[in-house]
Amino acid sequence: MESKTALEPRLYRVREFALLLGLPLPTAYRMVEQELVRSVRLPVSTDSRLGVIRIPAEEVERILLEAHSRGPEGHSRGRLGSAGKGN
């Protein structure tokens, strides 16, 4: 049987993402805007051009693992893929 991760639900609000990573909310939104974190925009209604931003749990896990691999001082312990576009 597969074990579940502690990171549930599968999609996080930007506010939840910021809290999980200990980031200021504006920084989390900037990461989304600059495509440093993979996100999806879901429509809030059929007639709305606006939507809500969600970040997949896998992306949160990737960022946490990347931060952990850097160690406490932020130095890289190994080569990881960039957080930019196309990941």
pLDDT value of position 85: 43
pLDDT value of position 16: 96
Q: What is the pLDDT of residues 17-63, one digit of tens each?
A: 999 999 999 999 999 999 999 999 988 877 666 789 999 999 999 99
pLDDT value of position 73: 61
pTM over 0.85: no
The number of residues making up the chain comes to 87
DSSP structure string for 39-68: -EEEESSTT-S-EEEEEEHHHHHHHHHHHH
23 inside domain:
yes
Number of folded domains that form the chain: 1
76 inside domain:
no
Q: Band of the pLDDT at 67, cuts 50, 70, 90?
A: confident
Taking the C-alpha atoms of residue 67 and residue 72, their distance in angstroms, rounded to an integer, is: 8
3 inside domain:
no
65 inside domain:
yes
CA distances from 73 to 17, 24, 59, 61 (A): 22, 19, 22, 19
* Domain of residue 20, residue span: 11-44+51-70
CA distances from 45 to 11, 14, 39, 53 (A): 18, 19, 19, 14
pLDDT value of position 4: 57
Taking the C-alpha atoms of residue 56 and residue 1, their distance in angstroms, rounded to an integer, is: 23
